[in-house]
Amino acid sequence: MARRLYAPTAAVLALGIFALDVLSPLQGAVAVLYTTVVVLVGRTHSRGLILSAAGLCTVLAIIGYCASHWDDPLGSPAMRLAVSLIALGVTTALFLRQLAESTERELADARYRTIFTAAGFPIWESDWSGAYALLLKASSLDEASVRRAFQLARVRNANDAAARLFGLADRSELMGGTVDDFATPAAFESLARIYGALLRGRMAVEEETCFVTRSGEAIDVLLQVSLPPDHGGWKRVLVMAADVTERNRAQARLAQSQAALTHMSRVTTLGQIAASIAHEVNQPLSAIITYARSGRRWLEREAPGAAEVADCLDHITSNGTRAADVIAGIRELARKADPSHERMALKTLIEDTEALLRRDLQVHDVTLRITVEPELPTLMGDRVQLQQVLMNLVLNAQQAMADLPPGQREMCLTAAQDGDALIVEVSDCGIGLADDPETVFRPFFTTKDDGMGIGLAICRSILEQHHGTLTARNNPGGGASFRLRLPAALDTEAFAA
């Protein structure tokens, strides 16, 4: 019956009871039936209507007594009237108290809903009763049980912050559903611990876990799961969440920076040691070069026909001189000296580098194919530093192909002219680079177990000092390519500028 019909129906009922009380010969407390009128009006939850109905019934009961028993002495009829009025008063008081409690409860619920909706952090209320029944029957909290229990957890209410947490447009998309679609394996592990704690009697559990948004982005979430006192077998479970993704990323960046700083300290110490070693090694190298040259002169005088010995001595002198140049470069680097610039032929630089690495490439069964355009212009730069760059790129390519069968380890080194620039490209067929090739140029980034992660960063720095560039890309057929771009025939004045 609609609420608007309660009052007219109650009025008709009151008149019917009045007629029964006045016109019938019954001697019972008919007026007690007026309590049904108050009960009926009480369904309207209107304080005014309840009081009006109680007053009307009181008046009708008194009028009925006066009409039927006015001339009778006080006795049984008067006692029945008193009982009826007391019953009417008690019924009215009980309904008024119930109405006050209901109003207070509605106000509290309204305040709760306001706080719930306006909260700036994600919060949702779920019905976990199905999960509770399932977990009570389960022999253990294995992954299958946890997954099934989580699928039975239905969201009863949620705020907009909870919808935004999962990348949803509106909280209505969460209502009546589950958050199972946003769970990750890490989330199920955390849920197993949460379920276990709640089953042991804890009323609040806090766990950090990982979810994914609708777009697939991973987010770190701190969950606070609480059971209200009237949860009724997990029928009401309050879940509050805090997105701690940025906090964790900041902590990771801080840890990475601290590790890089520690590594830089070790590298600085290593540089100081290297400078000391360079100073000590420079003396025996000078002696080796001097003895080789002396031996060459002695050979020309005493045994001019020993061509192979003379060739060996020439190689000793050449390689000793190159090693001395490297040592000198290390000492200058330790002193922060400016690089020396000279005009050089790119083809000669490549051939010298290949000669130095030929033995190492043969040992690792790597085939190096060199293609150099004819009549390339010369370039200006520090020979030792540019050779260091080429050696680093070739050795990196060799190591990238270490897992390939020997017959497939092929590397290409090409040199060509592009306008006013010289282009050198080193390509391999190895494992390739990460999704972002620029990552390999970041200081201390390395994929090698014994790598320091500073080789490519130094190579790029050397190229930038020579007004050039160093870039990397993945090859369509596999492997990676590193591309050097250097200005051709750069004059000394431009370097000084």
Blockwise average pLDDT, block size 10, the chain, 497 residues: 69 79 65 79 81 84 77 72 83 85 71 63 86 86 86 86 85 83 86 90 90 89 88 88 88 77 63 70 79 79 76 81 72 58 88 84 88 89 85 87 85 90 89 75 61 71 86 86 83 43
All residues at 6 or more sequence positions from 477 whose CB lies less than 8 Å from its CB, including other chains: 429
Q: What is the pLDDT of residue 266?
A: 61
So what's the pLDDT on residue 118?
A: 62
Instruction: Specify the fold of 342-496.
Output: Heat Shock Protein 90 (3.30.565)
Q: What is the pLDDT of residue 492?
A: 41
Cβ(363)–Cβ(398) under 8 Å?
A: no
Can you tell me the distance from the alpha carbon of 463 to that of 459, in angstroms, rounded to the nearest whole number? 6
Please, which residues have CB within 8 angstroms of residue 24's CB and are 6 or more apart in sequence?
Answer: 30
Strand 367-372 vs strand 410-418: parallel, antiparallel, or unpaired? parallel
Which run of H or of E encompasses 320? Answer: helix 307-334
Rounded Cα distance between 268 and 392, Å, is 20
> Could you tell me which of 185, 176, 179, 189 has the C-alpha nearest to residue 239?
179
What is the SS3 assignment for 259? helix
Would you state the pLDDT for residue 424?
93
Torsion of CA 387, 390, 392, 398, to 10 degrees: -140
pLDDT at 271: 64
Burial call 206-224: b when 16+ CB within 10 Å, e when fewer: ebebbbbeeeeeebbbbbe
Please state which CATH class domain 120-243 belongs to. alpha beta
**Pairing assessment for the beta strands 204-212 and 154-158 based on DSSP bridges:** unpaired
Rounded-to-integer distance, Cα 421 and Cα 145, Å: 66
Residue 397: its pLDDT value, please?
Answer: 87
What are the C-alpha distances in Å from 90 to residues 6, 34, 140? Answer: 20, 12, 55
pLDDT of residue 494: 44
**Which pLDDT belongs to residue 267?**
60
One-character DSSP codes across 47-98: HHHHHHHHHHHHHHHHHHHHHHHSSSPSSHHHHHHHHHHHHHHHHHHHHHHH
Per the CB < 8 A criterion, the answer to whether 13 and 36 are in contact is: yes
pLDDT for 259: 67
Of 234, 204, 209, 229, the C-alpha closest to 220 is 209
> Coil, helix or strand for 367?
strand
Residue 490's pLDDT is what? 45
- Residue 57, amino acid: C
Tell me the two tokens of residue 249: 């990323």
Which pLDDT belongs to residue 414? Answer: 92
CATH code at 253-334 = 1.10.287.130
H or E segment to which residue 134 belongs: helix 129-137
- Residue 66 has what pLDDT? 81
Angle at 409 between CA 405 and CA 411, to 5 degrees: 170
Q: What residues have CB less than 8 Å from 148, skipping those under 6 apart?
A: 134
Task: Please report the pLDDT score of residue 114 as a whole number.
Answer: 64
What's the pLDDT at 425?
Answer: 92
